[in-house]
Amino acid sequence: MEPKGARRESILDLLHDAGGLRPGAVGRVHLDSKVPEADVYGVATFYHLLADTTTDVFVCDGLSCRIAGCNSVMDELQARGEKARFVSCVGRCDAAPATWDRRGRPETLSPALSPSSDKHAIDLAAEDTQPYDALALARDKGADWVVAEIEGSGIQGRGGAGFPAAVKWKGVRAQAVKERYIVLNADEGEPGTFKDREVMLRRPHLVIEGLAIAAFALEALEIYIYVRGEFGAAKAALVGAVEEAKQRGDLDDRLRWHFVDGHGAYICGEETALLEALEGRRGMPRMKPPFPVESGFRGKPTLIQNVETIACVPAILRNGGAWFRGLGRTAPGSKLYCMSGHVTRPGVYEAPLGVSMRELLELAGGAVGTVKAFSPGGASSGFLPASKLDVAMDFRSLAVEGSMLGSAGVVVLNESVDMVEASLAQAVFFEQESCGQCSPCRIGTQIIRQTLERYLASGRDPKTLAIIPEVSWGMSEASICGLGLAASLPVKSAMTWFPEEFGIG
- Rounded to the nearest whole angstrom, what is the least distance from the CB of residue 503 to another protein in the complex? 18
Diameter of the chain measured on Cα atoms: 69
Among residues 153, 111, 144, the alpha carbon closest in space to that of 331 is found at: 153
- Rounded to the nearest whole angstrom, what is the least distance from the CB of residue 96 to another protein in the complex? 24
- Rounded to the nearest whole angstrom, what is the least distance from the CB of residue 475 to another protein in the complex? 9
Residues 229 and 263: beta-carbon distance below 8 Å = yes
- Phi/psi at 118 (5° precision): -80, 5
Which of 23, 106 has the CB closer to another protein? 23
Which of 235, 449 has the CB closer to another protein? 449
SS3 string, 336-399, reads: EEEEEECECCCEEEEEECCCEHHHHHHHCCCECCCEEEEECCCHHHCCEEHHHCCCECCHHHHH
- Rounded to the nearest whole angstrom, what is the least distance from the CB of residue 428 to another protein in the complex? 11
Which of 39, 123 has the CB closer to another protein? 39
Instruction: Answer left, alpha or beta for residue 391, where phi above 0 means left and psi between -120 and 50 means alpha.
Output: beta
- Rounded to the nearest whole angstrom, what is the least distance from the CB of residue 290 to another protein in the complex? 10
Q: How far apart are CA 189 and CA 267, in angstroms?
A: 8
- Rounded to the nearest whole angstrom, what is the least distance from the CB of residue 89 to another protein in the complex? 15
User: Which residues contact another protein (rule: CB under 8 A)?
Assistant: 1-2, 23, 26-27, 30, 36-42, 45-46, 48, 51, 265, 282, 287, 431-440, 442-447, 450, 454, 467, 470-471, 473-474, 477-480
Which of 393, 471 has the CB closer to another protein? 471
Q: How far apart are CA 34 and CA 267, in angstroms?
A: 26
Which of 241, 438 has the CB closer to another protein? 438
Q: How far apart are CA 185 and CA 53, in angstroms?
A: 26
Residues 484 and 438: beta-carbon distance below 8 Å = yes
SS3 string, 7-45, reads: CHHHHHHHHHHCCCCCCCHHHHHHHHHCCCHHHHHHHHH
Q: How far apart are CA 267 and CA 275, in angstroms?
A: 11
- Rounded to the nearest whole angstrom, what is the least distance from the CB of residue 90 to another protein in the complex? 18
Q: How far apart are CA 434 and CA 436, in angstroms?
A: 5
